[in-house]
Structure 1
Amino acid sequence: MANDVALFDSPVFQEDVQQIVREPLPWEAYRGQNVLVTGASGMIPLYIVGVLLAANDEHGLGMHISGMVRNVAKAERRLSGALARTDFTLVDGDVAEPMEFDRNFNTVFHGASPARPVLHNGSPVTTLKANTLGTINLLDSLVAAGGGSFVLLSSSEVYGSVSGVDLIQEDSVGELQHFAPRASYSEGKRIAETALAAYSAEFSIRPLTIRFGHIYGPGMALDDGRVQADFLADVVRGRDIKMMSAGAPTRTYTYVADAVLGLFYAHLIGSDSVYNVADPQGNVSIRQLAQKFASARPERGLKLAFANEADSGAYSPVASLGLASDRIQSLGWAAKTNLESGVSRAIRSFEQGPLI
């Protein structure tokens, strides 16, 4: 079975972006803009592209959206429904290399970054370059174009290990083991945030960093390697959900459309430069998440299968390492898709296809 879905053509995806663009936000702020979205075939960036194109349709904004990718063949499959549009251009390029664009951009959404954990260990230099050199190259391009808005898609991993808190606030500081290949992602995101702060201080750049928690939903690849993708793959393929441990650690799991809606709330009406985006109702243990996936299609009779049978009864909740969402909620944002519905929608995106 295919590991991916032609996301732009998915009915679930189209329902999601239509719901986002009908939010009472000042979409007029994008009127006439040239917008760049990097990593445009990734789950979150592709949702950003979809929302911006839907905003053009809904509000007649006259935007032009450029989606920058390294793998054009993959992007053409994922973005197939956007390719014939005159308000969208697919750009072939690597953000880690100096670049020249055919147009000047008013807003950049920088999402180009290897997100799969296996890549952080297997290709740490590529991961580091995308987050550090990629961010600096894009900021240089924006400065050369006269300035504008730069939205960095960051991660909860910038906090490192934060002790003594239940939910991590934007001003929290934790510890990171930086002298390790795996740190290419977390430290790379930290440097990217510092670069954005520096360029904002010295040049005409409006900075915005969005720190996402654990995002799930349509657009996840079944071979992604993160637990939410592993559980999705098990359900899609009709297998019992394999648990490698008791699954006690807790995280804030957020449906992708809610995460992207939070991004647009922050960008269009927010005044702070950093926002966590996480669904507080999605703060559950890995085991609870697995149970949500197993029960999403009860007719399949799926259950949890523990690699170590002793773990099957060993569940005990531990302190949360999720993100606090007070700041983004103060703008009026609230997650609209609960965990049960989000899990079901992710599964439905593969059931309806088209698969690639």
Structure 2
Amino acid sequence: MNMFNLFPTHSGAIARRRILVAGGAGFLGAHLCELLLHAGNSVICADNFSTGLKCNIRHLRDFDTFRVLRHDVVNPLDLEVDEIYNLACPASPRHYQADSTNTSVFGSLNLLELAARNGARILQASTPEIYGDPNVHPRVENYSGNVNSFGPRACYDEGKRRAEMLFFDFQKKHGVDVKIARIFNTYGPGMRPDDGRVVSNFIIRALRGNDITIYGDGSQTRSFCFVDDLIEGLVRLMAAGPSFTGPVNLGNPDEFTVRELAEHVVNLTGSRSKIVCQPLPVDDPRQRRPDISLAMRELHWRPEVPLMKGLEQTIRYFDDLFASETTAFLESA
């Protein structure tokens, strides 16, 4: 199916919509902005650049329908928009422990109020972390979770849970058209080299020939979704009828151990890096695999890019980044 078929048309031409992407200079946000612009939409990228990067969106300034707004969503916004994607929250532990709760709660509240004033549809980028370390595997949307509310990851987990509550509250009380996506591990070109996520961390260490650290014995599992697949899932969810709000799991159900991931990265990079073990962190989930039955049924979506192909593209991206001998990728001011 052509992705552009998901966008509304007038007399055969794609209808331009005014779309706000909060967190639009981030890894996922920049990919989303690019797709929306190519589909003929007018896009406002709002980002405070705490983790978003100017270089992620620099090439998008060629579109006269693209606008960048330096803004922190914890402060109210006054815009005219038709749709809102709320991706405004750091997703890696290295960054989200700084202030993710305020962003998740107050940022969601401000964007929901904006959606209510505009009669706009709004999508929340939620997370499988709201399930905590689950007793159910794979994770299904109706599982209420097993979250440690005072552990080192709690600021992110509980912030996202509260954001989901706010979305459904605004739907019930104010009739806001809401969508909620629970996004599982996503990787691909455009990731920050310093975000501390497992895929980028392993690739960078392998390219530099450094030891790759895994925690425990590396038998904990993860499911890795290539960024292009994930962005398609978000657009399909936004285009779904008002009767389907989610929450819906978006991720790749193919499951790999962390050790397997490290071995694949070493082999694909031709690295001499050694794999070393460290103690398992507190509250690190043993398994993280989505049940995507709901997404397949309601959105006709499932990921298509296999891990090895996605890793090859991501490795090439980081290899080119380092070969350019530039630090522009870390520009955030």
TM-score of the two chains, using structure 2 as the length reference: 0.86
1:135 aligns to what SS in structure 2? helix
Q: Which residue of 1 aligns with 2:5?
A: 25
Displacement after TM superposition at 1:182 (Å): 2.9
For residues 339 and 200 of structure 1, the distance between their equivalents in structure 2, rounded to whole angstroms, comes to 37
Partner of 2:289: 322
Supply the distance in 1 between the matched residues of 2:51 and 2:276 (Cα, whole angstroms).
38
**8 A Cα contact 1:200 1:207, kept in partner:** yes
Q: CA deviation at 1:181?
A: 5.3
Q: Take 1:258 and 1:39, find their aligned partners in 2: how far apart are those partners? A: 19
State how far apart, in whole Å, the 2-side matches of 1:133 and 1:64 are. 26
Which residue is 1:115 aligned to?
Answer: 91
Counterpart residue number, 1:17: none
Aligned pairs for 1:140-219 within 5 A: 140-145=113-118, 147-163=119-135, 165-180=136-151, 182-219=153-190
Deviation of 1:351 after TM superposition, in Å, equals: 2.8
The whole-number CA distance in structure 2 between the counterparts of 1:258 and 1:186 is 24
Q: Which stretch shows the higher mean deviation, 167-176 or 129-138?
A: 167-176
Structure 1 counterpart of 2:102: 129
- Could you tell which deviates more after superposition, 22-31 or 166-175? 22-31
TM-aligned CA distance change 1:174 to 1:203, over 3 Å: same
The correspondence for 1:258, drawn from 221, 226, 229, is: 229
Question: Which residue of structure 2 lines up, in the alignment, with residue 139 of structure 1?
Answer: 112
Deviation at 1:33, TM superposition (A): 1.2
Q: One-letter code of the match for 1:110?
A: N
Alpha-carbon distance in 2 for matches of 1:228, 1:158: 21
Matches within 5 A, 1:224-263: 224-263=195-234
Structure 1 residues 149-158 or 329-338, which shifts more? 329-338
Q: 1:82-113 deviations in whole A, cap 9, x for unaligned?
A: 12321000001110012323xx1110000010
Q: Which amino acid is 1:158 matched to? A: I
Query: Which amino acid in the other structure matches residue 342 of structure 1?
Result: G
Offset at residue 139 of structure 1 (A): 0.9
Q: How many Å apart are 1:28 and its aligned residue?
A: 2.1
2:63 maps to which of 77, 85, 98: 85
Q: Tell me the secondary structure at the aligned position of residue 68 of structure 1.
A: strand
Q: Once the two structures are superposed, what CA deviation does each residue of 1:148-184 show, in whole Å capped at 9, x if it has no partner?
A: 1100011001112221x32011111122111345311
Q: Secondary structure at the match of 2:3?
A: coil
1:289 corresponds in structure 2 to 261
Superposed CA offset, 1:315-345 (max 9, x none): xxx9743111111112321212100001111
Aligned-pair Cα RMSD in Å? 2.4
User: How much has 1:143 moved relative to structure 2?
Assistant: 1.4
Letter in 2 for 1:42: G
Q: Deviations over 1:300-325 (max 9, x none)?
A: 343542146x99xxxxxx97431111
The whole-number CA distance in structure 1 between the counterparts of 2:62 and 2:271 is: 42
Distance 1:301 1:184 in 2: 36
Q: SS of the residue aligned with 1:119?
A: helix
Number of equivalent positions: 313
State the 1:235 CA deviation. 2.9
**Greater relative contact order (Cα < 8 A, sep 6+):** 1
Alpha-carbon distance, 1:128 to partner: 0.6
Query: Any conservation in 2 of the 1:148–1:204 contact (CA below 8 Å)?
Result: no
Report what 2:331 is aligned to: none
Unpaired segments of 5 or more residues in structure 1?
1-19, 57-62, 312-317
Letter of the 1:333 partner, please give it: W
Q: Deviation string for 1:42-95 (max 9, x for gaps)?
A: 111111101101212xxxxxx210000102996432211012321000001110
Match of 1:315 in 2: none
Distance 1:212 1:258 in 2: 11
Cα shift readout 1:267-322 (whole Å, capped 9, x = no counterpart):
223652121011112x111111111211213xx343542146x99xxxxxx97431
Equivalent in 77, 82, 85 of residue 106 of structure 1: 82
Identity within the alignment, %? 24
Q: Is 1:50 aligned with 2:28?
A: no
Q: Quick one: distance in 1 between partners of 2:66 and 2:175?
A: 26
8 Å CA contact retained: 1:35, 1:106: yes
* Alpha-carbon separation, structure 2, partners of 1:255 and 1:329: 17
What does the per-residue CA deviation read over 1:251-276, in whole Å, with 9 as the maximum and x for residues that have no partner? 21111111111112222236521210
Pairing 1:338–2:306 present: yes
- The alpha-carbon distance between structure 1 residues 255 and 200, as it changes in their structure 2 partners (threshold 3 A), is same
Alignment partners' CA distance in 2, 1:115 and 1:321 = 15
